Amino acid sequence: MRTGILGGTFDPPHLGHLVLAAAARHTLELDRVLFIPAGDPWRKAGRRVTPAEDRLDMTRALVEGVEWAVVSDIEVRREGPSYTTETLEQLARDGGDWWFILGADALADLPHWSHPERIISAVRLAVARRPDETDGVITPALQAALPGIEARVDLVPMPRLDISSSDLRERVRDGRPTQFLLQDAVRAVIDRRGIYFDGDEDPGAPPL
């Protein structure tokens, strides 16, 4: 079994996440992709994060009807900060081939995660590469921080989609369109529960 894992805050989950997962599935011939919302995303400290149950339900709505996608609540159920290292080691222990899927922005942040060296020893990394990116995904800084990382990365070609959860939260708050950026089922959860309408963003916190 070949499994990709897409971890994220998913606040909210959007088209970029789906396209990233589909690209990784195609390139690496994955049997399935697990979407794993972080319970307590400690790297996003500095802004208010939507309750985990809401992010879990939005992620379920995102993958409705996508037969190769599975949502896991493994991090939402675990107490304390969500450490990707723990999740990946726990899952990979069961055997099979595992990839952690991530965008280039998350790869650059990887050295600041908890025990990143254990992440790249437990699983391979599937990293989105944009068509106009000839080099620069694995930077010298990344190699210095995590020696040997280049041998653990598979690059996944993916079109550049300038879509982010941060922008979508502002769109909902400001009443600008989210159609096609958010799945209709995700937007329905947002509307029903009134998520993002009051806009309590911390403008000082840079998006991760």
Residues binding ligand ATP (CB under 6 A): 8-11, 16-17, 20, 102-103, 105-106, 128, 161, 163-166, 207-208
Question: Residue 53 is encoded by which pair of tokens?
Answer: 């149950």
Q: Computed over its alpha carbons, how large is the radius of gyration of the chain?
A: 16
For the bound state, the minimum distance from the C-beta of residue 174 to ligand ATP, rounded and expressed in Å, comes to 16
Closest to 3 measured CA to CA, from 158, 123, 154? 123
Look at the block and give the residue holding tokens 């400690």. Answer: 42
* Cβ closest to ligand ATP, residue 105 vs residue 150: 105
* Cβ closest to ligand ATP, residue 10 vs residue 86: 10
* Cβ closest to ligand ATP, residue 72 vs residue 166: 166
* Cβ closest to ligand ATP, residue 95 vs residue 198: 198
For the bound state, the minimum distance from the C-beta of residue 109 to ligand ATP, rounded and expressed in Å, comes to 9
Nearest residue to ligand ATP by CB is 103
For the bound state, the minimum distance from the C-beta of residue 1 to ligand ATP, rounded and expressed in Å, comes to 22
Query: Residue 156: helix, strand or coil by DSSP?
Result: strand
Distance (Å, whole) CA 77 – CA 167: 28
Q: Are 131 and 161 in contact (CB under 8 A)?
A: no
Q: Are 2 and 126 in contact (CB under 8 A)?
A: no
For the bound state, the minimum distance from the C-beta of residue 121 to ligand ATP, rounded and expressed in Å, comes to 19
